[in-house]
Structure 1
Amino acid sequence: MANNEFAVKYRLLREESDRQFLFLVYHEGPQPEDMNNWLLNVLLAHGAFHTDQASIYLGGLGLGPEYSELVQDHLEFFNAVKGGMG
């Protein structure tokens, strides 16, 4: 994004809105506060992609991010399954 979130948003939602493609927007560092997040509506509409172990288990179980803290608190349980959950 190179510190130009608005340009990214404009390109995705206006310039190339007629194209059908999957995209992943990578942002390094902490997520901005909602009031300062130019991509908040994109995030809310499409969700966030996470690669931590708890998120992988959530995806495998078909559970939403509202269970992330629960799974994170019980990772030992999920890791104890023979061969993992995958």
Structure 2
Amino acid sequence: QSPYQCTVCSKSFSCNSNLLQHQRSHVTKKAYKCMQCGKSFSWISVLTRHQATHNMRGERIFECANCGDRFTRSSSLTL
């Protein structure tokens, strides 16, 4: 059995750092909101990963602030 156990849901982890990361998933405040669908997340990294799912169909969701052109990848916005 893994030595680190979540006191909220009893899920076990082999590393304390993994337990600490998991415990944040139980936080009720989800400060990071997806502007496309309204879903909220506790972690900015999870929001970023989620936002990529909106672009799986090649939608041009990244808009250039200078010219207004839209792109499928944020990396296309760099000069």
TM-score (norm 2): 0.27
TM-score (norm 1): 0.26
Greater C-alpha Rg = 2
- 1 or 2, which has the higher helix percentage? 1
Q: Flag the structure with more relative contact order, 1 or 2, with Cα contacts below 8 A and sequence separation at least 6.
A: 1
- 1 or 2, which has the higher strand percentage? 2
